[in-house]
Amino acid sequence: MKQLVITLIGTDRPGLVETLSDTVFQHHGSWQASSLSKLAGKFAGIIQVDIKNEDAESLAKALNGIPELDVLIADTPRQSEPDSTTHSLTVTGNDRSGIIQEVTREIAKFGININKLKSHAQSAANSGGMIFTADFDLDIANSIPLSDLGEALEGLSDDLIVEFDVSDI
- pLDDT by residue (tens digit) across 9-35? 999 999 999 999 999 999 999 999 999
Which tens digits make up the pLDDT trace of 114-123? 999 999 999 8
Which tens digits make up the pLDDT trace of 33-55? 999 999 889 999 999 999 999 99
Instruction: Mention every residue, 6+ apart, whose C-beta is less than 8 A from residue 108.
Output: none
| Contact assessment for residue 106 and residue 115, using Cβ atoms and an 8 Å cutoff | no
Distance CA 53, CA 160 (A): 48
Distance CA 114, CA 120 (A): 17
- Adjacency order of strands within the sheet including 69-76: 30-39, 42-51, 2-11, 69-76
- pTM for the whole thing? 0.73
Q: What is the bridge-based pairing of β-strands 84-94 and 69-76? A: unpaired
The predicted pLDDT at position 128 comes to 77
What the chain holds in terms of domains, given with CATH numbers, is 2-76 (3.30.70.260), 84-165 (3.30.70.260)
With cut-offs at 50, 70 and 90, classify the pLDDT of residue 124: confident
Which tens digits make up the pLDDT trace of 75-112? 987 766 668 888 999 999 999 999 999 999 999 999 99
CA distances from 49 to 32, 65, 74, 80 (A): 5, 18, 10, 18
The predicted pLDDT at position 166 comes to 61
DSSP state of 153: H
